[in-house]
Structures are given as structure tokens and as C-alpha cells.
Amino acid sequence: MNLRINKYLSECGIASRRKSEELVEQGRISINGKIISDLSVKIDTEKDVVAVDGEKIKFEDRVYFILNKPKGYITSTSDEKDRKTVIELIKTDKKIFPVGRLDYNTTGLLLLTNDGDFSNKMTHPSNRIVREYKATLDKPLEEKDKERLSKGIILDNRKSRFSSMEFKEIKNRKKVNVTTVEGRNHFVKRMFSSLGYNVKNLERIKFGNFQLGKLRPGEYMEIKKKEIEKYIDVKGGKKIGK
């Protein structure tokens, strides 16, 4: 198989295509021992030896997983404090990484893959991928505050809002489902905190068109590449996950 260098690096899970082009321009990529600068060069996946900063990389098939992340796991490939990572929960011989992040004690839907392009599409702000969460608050949410969070408040010096808010239990205003296209760190918790609410529990139940289904905490399932293509525009020409 012949692939352009940026696609090859992305398929190897090194970086997105755009970031891969930057690696080439920085002189960090070599083919068969020779540093390259031509972004149009193609790789023979069966014969060519490609290295990043002198370290050989290997072409691997793309893999995709949905994990129901439990509490107490770091959304990372490693942790300097030696805490448990979400990578430990999935049995695979591929070098996978999380798509975006969930806080240490936030649970729910997390995607993991070795596909840099897919990860970039799902997390890039311009694609406005919808996230849905179940939030449990420390006190009932007042109607005036619900309206403010829906219309927008100032967070990080810019107007921020939830796309929708819904009480799943009519008489329990501590439990509310929220949707947002924001991927900022701790966004849901900070939105509520700005109005004096503490989020006791937070679970992500939807990310784009991906849903948790019946997965229990700590359980995962693999999604085949042909199924992934149903969820995104693999040519990158349209908005995805809506």
C-alpha cells in the first residue's frame, strides 16, 4: 500500500495529518535513513522504513474502542504519579490513546484509538461535536439559573452556554442532563460552579453519534472501521457527529 507521508504518520497514530506535515517541515521525519522535506512523498507500507526523531515507527491497522470510564482513572496513556490510566482497561496490542479527556472522577463514554485523524475530527472545536452529560448537583437547580446557563454566561472571558438542559426526574432538580459542543477542561463543572453549584457526579453518555448503550463501568467494545465511517465524514468535508 502506498500512502502520502502525512496520512502514513496519521495512520501510525503519530499525529493528525496537519501536525504530521509540521513534523516533516521541522526535519524530524526520515525514510530509509534520509531526512525528507517533500510533503508529497509517498510511503510503501511494505518496504519503506520511516522514523520520527530517529525512532522507527510501524504501520498498524486502525482500531477504535468505546469505554465506559469508571471513577479513579486518568484519561492519559501514562501518569507521573503512577495512578491508574484508562489504557489499562483495554486489552489490545496496539498503541492507543484517548480521544479528548474526562476528569479523574468523571465517568462515562470515552473513545480510544490509534487514529490521529479521527481523534482530531472528534475534538477540533470547529466541528462542534455534541457531548451529553448526566450531572448530579449538590442542591436543586433554580429555574433562573437554568435559564442563565441556557442563554449564556461569561466563562474564560467569553460567552458560554449549554446547548440544552433537561430534568430527567420532574421532582428532582438536582439531576439534570446537559448537552454542549464545548471541549474545554472541566467545562460542565465550571459552568455550574460559576453560579454556586457543586457537581457531585458527572457522567458523559453521548459523544457525537456514539452512545454508551449497555456498557457497565470499566467495560468496553471495539468498533470496526467500516462502522466508524457511518459516524463521520471520512473525507473531512462536512460537519460530523450531529
Q: pLDDT tens digit string along 180-216?
A: 999 999 999 999 999 999 999 999 999 998 999 899 9
∠230-68-237 over CA atoms, to 5°? Answer: 25
> What are the grid coordinates assigned to 58, written together?
510501524
What pLDDT does 241 receive? 42
Question: CB–CB of 228/64 below 8 Å?
Answer: yes
What pLDDT does 60 receive? 78
Q: Verify that 38 and 75 share a domain, yes or no.
A: no
Q: Is residue 240 part of a domain?
A: no
Q: How confident is the model at residue 11 (pLDDT cuts 50, 70, 90)?
A: confident
DSSP lists the bridge partners of residue 222 as 65
| 235 pLDDT higher than 50 | no
- Of these residues, 103, 138, 145, 156, which one is catalytic? 103
Q: Verify that 23 and 41 share a domain, yes or no.
A: yes
Active site residue 233: no
Q: Cell match 509517498: residue?
A: 42
What pLDDT does 59 receive? 81
What is the rounded distance in angstroms from the CA atom of residue 152 to the CA atom of residue 144? Answer: 12
Q: Verify that 139 and 96 share a domain, yes or no.
A: no
| 21 pLDDT higher than 90 | yes
Q: Verify that 86 and 138 share a domain, yes or no.
A: no
Q: Is residue 238 part of a domain?
A: no
| 238 pLDDT higher than 80 | no
